[in-house]
Structure formats: C-alpha cells, structure tokens
Amino acid sequence: MSEELIETIKKEFRSNVFDETVSNNEHYLTVKKEAAVRICDYLYHTLDFPLISIFATDERAKDGCFKIHYIFSCKDDMFIIIKIKVEETSPRFATLTHKIPAANWYEREIQDMFGLVPVGHPDPRRLIHFEDWPAGFYPLRKDFDIRTKPPRVKGEYIYRRVEGEGVYEIPVGPVHAGVIEPGHFRFSVAGEPILNLEIRHFYTHKGVEKLFESLSIDKAVFLAERISGDNSVAHSAAFCQAVEKVAGVDIPPHAKYIRTILLELERIYNHFGDIAGIATDVAYPFGAAHANRLKEQVMQLNEKVTGSRLLRGMNTTGGVRRDIGDKNELISKELATLQNNFRELMELLISSPSVADRIETTGRISNEIAKGLHVVGPAGRASGIDGDTRRDHPYAAYPELEFKVPVRKAGDVNARTLVRADEVYESIMLIQQALSRLPEGDIRTDVNQIPDGYALGYTEAPRGETLYWVHISNGRIERCKVRDPSFCNWLAIEYAVLDNIVPDFPIINKSLSLSYSGNDM
C-alpha cells in the first residue's frame, strides 16, 4: 500500500519529485521548492492526510542550504515527509497557511528561529521573538552560539483591533494570579459576548531545541521529560523511541509493557486534574475536591511504583531504568478502587443541573475548525476527529492490547469532559491488560553505537499527539524538533470563545488543558 501511494504521488507530480528516502515507516520525498505548496495541498485535501508538523534544519555545512520538512500522517502507520531546499542567498519559501491553516505557527516559528521568510503568510508578525529582539539573530542556525546574549532594541507588537461602537478591549496577563505560567489574552467584547480573542505566548521560551544540540543523548532524555512537567513520560518516551529507531534497536517486550503502564498512569492523573479544574471553574467545589483527591491518590501510587510522583527517571534509550513487576498487585488494587470512586464522581457531575448549565454548548470548536488547525488529543476527539496515535501509529505494547478511542461530536466543554472520563476507564482497562500479560525478561537493551540518521518518535500524551524528530550525527544530536500537543491546540481557543461570555473563558481554557511550558520551548 505504501509503495503504491508513493508511486501515485510521484506520478502526479513527475519531475517535481527528485529524491526518495525510506526509513522504517517514514517516506521522505525531496521536491522542488516551487512545487511544495501544490504537493502538500494534494496530500491534505485530496488524500486527506493531516499536516502534523513543519520544521527547518540548517544543513549549510553539508549540503549548502537550509531544508524545510512537512510531515503528514498517513494510513497504515505511515508518514510522508515532504522536503524542500532553501538557499541561504534567497531565504524565502511560499506559505502554506492559506491552504492548510495548521501551518500558521510552524511557518512563523521557522521565520523567527531560522530567518527563512514564508512569502505570502497572512500574519507575518513575530511569533517567538519579542519586539526587543534584534533582527539578524536566528537561534537555531548552526552559527548561533547558545551562549549569545543579543542586545535589546526598541520595538512594538501590533495587536489586531476590532473597531465599532461599544467594543472594548480586555487585556489579561501575561502575569496571572496563582502559579500558572505567563500568557497574554486580549479580548474584544461588546458587553459580555466575546467578539475576538488574540493570544500571545512564548514569554518563557527556553531554547530547548538549541539546548538539545549541546547534550549527550543520555542527558537529553532528562531534558525531554522536563519540557512539560505533567507529561514527562510521554515526552521522554517519544524522544527515546526516535533514538531507538535511528539505532535500529527493538526494546525488550517487558520494557514495552512497562512504558505502556506508565503512559496510562500519566493519562489518568492528568485527566483527573483537568476534570477537577473544570469543576472548580463552574463553582462545584465538592466535585473538584473529589477529583483532586483521586488525582492525589494516583500521584501517590506513581511514587510507590517508580519513586516519582511525576513518573520521572524511568524512561531511557533502550527501555526503562527500573522494573515494576513486583508492584502488580498494588497497582491493580488501587485502580479498582479509583475506578469505583471515579464512576461515582462522574455520576454526580453529569446529574448536576448547575454543572450542565455551565458546560453544555459552552466553548464549541467545530469539526471544520478542529481539522483545519489539527487539534489533537481529547479536544480534537470531542470535536469529532477520530485520531489517536496509540492506534494509528502504534508503539510500546499498544499493538498487543485492546482499547477503544472515545469520540464525540458536540465540541463543547461537556464533550471534552466526557471524552476524558471515557479515556480514564479505557486507561484503567489498558493497565489491567498490560499487568495480566506482562512478560518476563530484561528491562533494557544496550544502545551503544548509534549510526548517523534521523527518525520520528511519537506518543499519545494526555493532551494529545506528541512528536519528536531526532537527527543524530557522529553520536551527537544534530537536530531535535519537538512538537508538543499544545502547539497545535492553543490557536483553537481563539475560536472556542467566540460568542461566549467572558466569565466562561476560564472553563473553556481549562477544558482544553493547554500547557504554557510545553508550548514555550
């Protein structure tokens, strides 16, 4: 099927495709720069393959140019990566955003970090760099020293304005009450209804992708699991799987099952926390307290099983660092109790008229918007997108386990809450299956000499599809592109709040469970 598909694409565009490389389930097609938009449009609209990432690489030392990669997720566990070359003397490429809205932030990120300009982009403003960042400093170019401290300059960021009688702006942030990280929200309202929302983030951009290039592969695992603190397992597993694919290593079955169990424990405690947050924002403190108690129980279980409440320090290239085989009975017993208590909680939430009044029809994201922006995870599935990396691109022990992917169509806060609840039940069932089938054997395969190469690693984190592309050269990380699910989902909030009222914003925001840290890498 994959060979037939590639031949169809090559036949459709003939001389515009001049190189093909196949590695595992990844098919790389190098195409003429001027044909990239047409080919990507064909993959997206004609073949219905979602665009899941765009990133650039600086390959001037080897090939005398920059390269841009467009990653499409295909059926039958396959990826198509369209590559174009961009010359340093003409650092420009045609925008794809007018064809595929999901390309928006990726192209602006490339402009800021590499200095490659997406010609025709509908919003050419800076994305990551702020107005005091000087022109000509592009951090992900190879000749940019990570120790560089650019001078500050004067500048101004121009926000979109909604004009009209009775229209007011409400700026919120970037500093917020509580412990959440900074992010700016600028509402345009007429009375209480929201006419427009513009978000601006990256106040705490950490330069993670540049930092990866200065670390050994072993230390990079620890960096990956700290990109988004409550998704430690998902990030570190995605990174490790990318490295393992480059190395041609298949980790032991025992380790695959342990990774699966850890990934599902992470999903459960995150979903409990999200449901607690939604209950808090609709003024249902009893439900919030109940959900937070369940989250705390899972985090205490995490610590008993791994030594870390956030499940850190478990993943490593080649498998896992510690066995959990002697904790089977403990995990099974705790999960059985959690399942019963969670079912009682959801019955209370669903039957409460005051809760239903606040979450039903609130914060709707249509299927069209969700698909166009490539909204992932529970937020996407609540808007009718039947996608889950565990099933579509199976990894770890998921190919050997049975589970359902909950999908709803309403696209509102209620649907997102119910999808999370359904996923909790599925996660408990998955862990029980994994425990009952846990094979004997080693927990790690040695990963010593890693050949030069590149590969994708991916997981279905609690927030959705998490993606790593790792390029290794001479045993070091040449490039590590990280795509957290929040990078896909943040733009969706600008649509979710429309025609809602300002007091509903916290509920909508919490129901999307967006990460500042995962986004601001």
Tell me if 395 is assigned to some domain.
yes
State the DSSP H helix or E strand holding residue 464, giving kind and residue range, or none if neither.
strand 464-473
pLDDT band at 3 (very low <50, low <70, confident <90, very high): confident
Does 325 have pLDDT greater than 90?
no
Query: What is the count of structural domains for the chain?
Result: 3
Task: Specify whether 337 is located in the same domain as 214.
Answer: yes
Tell me if 125 is assigned to some domain.
no
Task: Specify whether 243 is located in the same domain as 106.
Answer: no
User: What are the tens digits of pLDDT across the range 338-381?
Assistant: 999 999 999 999 999 999 999 999 999 999 999 999 999 999 99
In this structure, are residues 241 and 457 in contact, taking their beta carbons and an 8 Å threshold?
A: yes
Q: Are strands 315-316 and 319-320 parallel, antiparallel or unpaired?
A: antiparallel
pLDDT band at 465 (very low <50, low <70, confident <90, very high): very high
Task: Specify whether 218 is located in the same domain as 172.
Answer: no
Task: Specify whether 250 is located in the same domain as 297.
Answer: yes
Per-residue pLDDT, averaged over 21-28, amounts to 94
Per-residue pLDDT, averaged over 185-195, amounts to 94
Task: Specify whether 330 is located in the same domain as 346.
Answer: yes
Whole domain around residue 457: which residue ranges? Answer: 208-519
Q: What local confidence, expressed as pLDDT, does residue 67 receive?
A: 98
Phi, psi of 198 (to 5 degrees): -120, 125
Does 2 have pLDDT greater than 80?
no
Task: Specify whether 176 is located in the same domain as 212.
Answer: no
Task: Specify whether 191 is located in the same domain as 281.
Answer: no
Task: Specify whether 196 is located in the same domain as 217.
Answer: no
Q: Are strands 26-31 and 51-59 parallel, antiparallel or unpaired?
A: unpaired
Q: What is the value of pTM for the model shown? A: 0.96
Q: Are strands 194-200 and 315-316 parallel, antiparallel or unpaired?
A: unpaired
Q: What percent of the chain clears pLDDT 90, i.e. is strictly above it?
A: 93
Q: What local confidence, expressed as pLDDT, does residue 180 receive?
A: 83
Tell me if 418 is assigned to some domain.
yes
Domain end call among 80, 100, 119: 119
Per-residue pLDDT, averaged over 44-69, amounts to 97
What is the residue whose two structure tokens read 């809760």? Answer: 355
pLDDT band at 49 (very low <50, low <70, confident <90, very high): very high
Contacts of 484 (CB under 8 A, 6+ apart): 227, 228, 231, 235, 461, 463, 466, 515, 518, 519, 521
Domain end call among 100, 119, 138: 119
Tell me if 111 is assigned to some domain.
yes
Does 178 have pLDDT greater than 80?
no
Tell me if 149 is assigned to some domain.
no
Residues in the chain, how many?
521
Does 84 have pLDDT greater than 90?
yes
User: What are the tens digits of pLDDT across the range 380-405?
Assistant: 999 999 999 999 999 999 999 999 99
Which CATH number do you get for residue 8? 3.30.460.80
Does 250 have pLDDT greater than 70?
yes
Task: Specify whether 345 is located in the same domain as 233.
Answer: yes
CA dist 84 → 11, 12, 40, 92, 109 (Å) = 18, 18, 11, 11, 17
Which CATH number do you get for residue 324? 1.10.645.10
State the DSSP H helix or E strand holding residue 84, giving kind and residue range, or none if neither.
strand 78-86
Does 1 have pLDDT greater than 70?
no
The overall average pLDDT reported for the chain is 96
